[in-house]
Structure 1
Amino acid sequence: MTQIEWDRIPMVDLTEELTFIREPILDKMTDVVDSGQYILGEKGEQLEKQVADYIGSTYGIGTASGTDALELSLKALAIGPGDDVITTPFTFFATAGAIAQVGARPVFADIEKDTYNIDPASIEKAITQNTKAIMVVHLYGKAANMQEIMRIADNYDLRVIEDACQAIGTEYNGKRVGSIGDIGCFSFFPSKNLGAFGDAGLVTTNQPELYEKIRGLRNHGSTKKYHHSAIGMNSRLDEMQAAVLLVKLYYLDIFLHKRKESANRYTENLHRLLKTPAVAQEQEHTFHQYCVELAERDELASVLDQSGIDSAIYYPVPLHLQPAFDYLGYQKGDFPIAERAAKRILGLPIYPMLSFQKQDYIINTINNFLANNG
């Protein structure tokens, strides 16, 4: 199959998705304009309740971004200087960055080679008397091993924050991620499975005291106007983004189903020739990213680029080797599984409106490359 009907296949095409839901989004946005309520209004409250219900949590608190959701969660748990928080070195920078921002120390634990999620056995080895929490990442939309992680947290009296920024709608043993630990954090960055028209995020919890703390902290430490019980931050989800997200949330399960269809099609056609994502019944995958693994990663990326197909590396430099974290004292070789994955993993285009024709072109391009480099 040749490339005949498009200039290039992007990693994510938000414009195609918008053609499907343009009118209801514009209607909701017009409601906001007409209301005169732009911050902490009715749409935001609706979104908080509907996302919490969807996740299976008691409470939802809108924030200005997924990164803020992580930082606010740490602050609500009174985590700061002198405290350690265990997390994965194989994720986006914001996870460990939020830990550092509150003055705590990110402590890394290696990942599982098949899921790329944090390895519970590695977590247990990293626990010290200074450890206060585990920040779990459900990477690429794949649920981490929450049964083991919660067991470890219970045994050592640790709090658990779920970084579910890539995994809204993902289930683990029948529960949606973000409802299992003490706190769940979500990002609504435009390219996420549930994406706004700018930055936005949300926190979920089942604990009323954490709900009240986070609700205040995201608004300068205030739940009553001009009365401040803590030093918080300005991290309020605005009404326009809430309006967009309310519409998109209605279609979320349909879009996740389309992602899974595309992922299954990739796997059926590629699994014999390279490593495709691991899928298990108890640890669902909603495919925010579809990543394959192979030794010739960079060569394949180059061929895809020359063929008019975008690809991306998630993530080329593990966090323990980032210059910003030099002060932690980690060295190359400390987390060999994460380091190996960083050299071999490649994300392929995946989004709800990815056509079979475009996907076949991607698959055929990859198969031709592998046939010539086998």
Structure 2
Amino acid sequence: MKYMNLYRGYEKRKEAINKKISSVIERSQFIFGEELDALEKELSDYTGVKYAVGVSSGHVGLVLSLLALGFDAGEDHSEKEIIVPAMTFFSTAEAPAFLGMKVKVCDIDKYFNMDIKKLESLINKNTAAIIPVNLFGQCADYNAILDIAEKNNIFVIEDACQSFGASYNNIKSCSGKLGDIAVTSFFPAKPLGCFGDGGMVFTNNEKLYNNLKQLRHHGDEGGMIHVKLGTTGRLDNMQAGILLEKFKGFDDDMEHRRKAAEYYSEQLKDIVKTPEIAEYNTSVYAQYVIQVENNRDEIRNKLNELGVPTALYYPHPIHLAPALSKLGYKEGDMPVSEYASKHNIALPIDNDILREEQDIVIEALRNVLKKQ
């Protein structure tokens, strides 16, 4: 058994994907082109957002979003503070830190998302933006976040790198209604993943859209006239074509993924802490994460011996990352995130997981826990 069997997603679309790849190669239109244009249109229509900009990764999307909001490369942003959750992939904090901004960290709630009760106390005159993360495929509490941001006149970047296809109060993630800008990732393991790196940025703001298009192409306004400091941040045409084919049937894939997650929860709720989904959310379960009380590493080792691979999301909270040690955080500062980092286990899940595979996982976990 694989932790994620990504081949099956290709296999069921093999003929169409191969045809699309061959078409791109035959035309040799690898950078920009009709596939990228079509994908941006498809995904903007799907989410209901006005503008979508294909980028080379979710991380690059976060960096470009900050640049587009006016935090220009090469300038001193050391007084600007960006609030991120403690439990997330490193990129959420790395993007603002990379631009010389000060990262402030907020602990998480029972849904693994930014704790709104702790957010407001972190805001001061230097706060420039909040980057909530829709961790494991469910959205943060955006009504509260947007209210705080509006009162304090600060930006919100929706880190939707794990939540494309999810919704909050019937509002789609990446719709442009949950922040000034939204960013998603098409890393292969994502619910909608390509065959390499890729991402997309979404906004309803025309000025931000135009900025993003320039910034992903070295600040070029056309004719090699570079009006901004940007980067090589484009989504290539090959990956866009692959994503176009994988997007067909995406809602069915997400329904399968949700049913798989619900089956896990029903079968495991009596022996482990299963994921909680807020009543206002529809999750895409980018990961299916349980919590065990004790002996996490021993449990994982025994599951592996029984042929059940697992993963950790995330073994080190953001505030304890060595690269951010200058921020001055210490162990104990973010107790909920620190507990999660020591007790979380991610079980196998993907868009095509079989019920019999889930039964193997469930039986193995029950047997291992019975012997604890």
Q: Distance in 1 between matches of 2:114 and 2:133?
A: 7
CA RMSD of the aligned region, Å? 1.0
Please tell me whether residue 106 in structure 1 is matched to residue 103 in structure 2: yes
Q: Distance in 1 between matches of 2:147 and 2:239?
A: 37
Counterpart of 2:57 (choices 43, 46, 65) is 65
- Counterpart of 2:119 in structure 1: which amino acid? I
The 5-angstrom pairing of residues 13-28 of structure 1 reads 13-28=5-20
Q: Secondary structure at the match of 1:222?
A: coil
- Counterpart of 1:208 in structure 2: which amino acid? E
- Counterpart of 2:68 in structure 1: which amino acid? A
The 5-angstrom pairing of residues 1-374 of structure 1 reads 9-79=1-71, 80-112=77-109, 114-179=110-175, 180-296=178-294, 297-373=296-372
CA shift digits 1:269-318 (9 cap, x unpaired):
00111110112331221101000011222222111111011101100110
Where does residue 3 of structure 1 map in the other structure?
none
Residue identity (%) = 38
Q: Distance in 2 between matches of 1:236 and 1:213?
A: 13
Q: Distance in 2 between matches of 1:367 and 1:54?
A: 40
CA shift digits 1:52-101 (9 cap, x unpaired):
11122100001111100000001111233321000111111111000111
8 Å contact kept, 2:111–2:278: no
Q: Secondary structure at the match of 1:193?
A: coil
How far off its partner does 1:123 sit?
1.2
- Counterpart of 1:276 in structure 2: which amino acid? T
Q: Distance in 2 between matches of 1:47 and 1:295?
A: 44
- Counterpart of 2:108 in structure 1: which amino acid? I
- Counterpart of 2:244 in structure 1: which amino acid? L
Q: Structure 2 length normalisation: TM-score?
A: 0.96
Q: Structure 1 length normalisation: TM-score?
A: 0.95
Deviates more, 1:42-51 or 1:72-81: 72-81
How far off its partner does 1:368 sit?
1.7
How far off its partner does 1:50 sit?
1.0
- Counterpart of 2:169 in structure 1: which amino acid? N
Q: Distance in 1 between matches of 2:200 and 2:233?
A: 10
Q: Distance in 2 between matches of 1:101 and 1:67?
A: 11
Deviates more, 1:97-106 or 1:75-84: 75-84
Q: Distance in 1 between matches of 2:78 and 2:35?
A: 36
8 Å contact kept, 1:275–1:293: yes
CA shift digits 1:143-193 (9 cap, x unpaired):
111111111111111110011001100000011112221000011011111
8 Å contact kept, 1:145–1:283: no
In structure 2, stretches of 5+ residues that fail to align are: 72-76
8 Å contact kept, 2:218–2:228: yes
In structure 1, stretches of 5+ residues that fail to align are: 1-8
Q: Distance in 1 between matches of 2:138 and 2:337?
A: 16
How far off its partner does 1:372 sit?
2.6
- Counterpart of 1:29 in structure 2: which amino acid? I
Q: Distance in 2 between matches of 1:352 and 1:178?
A: 20
Q: Distance in 1 between matches of 2:19 and 2:340?
A: 44
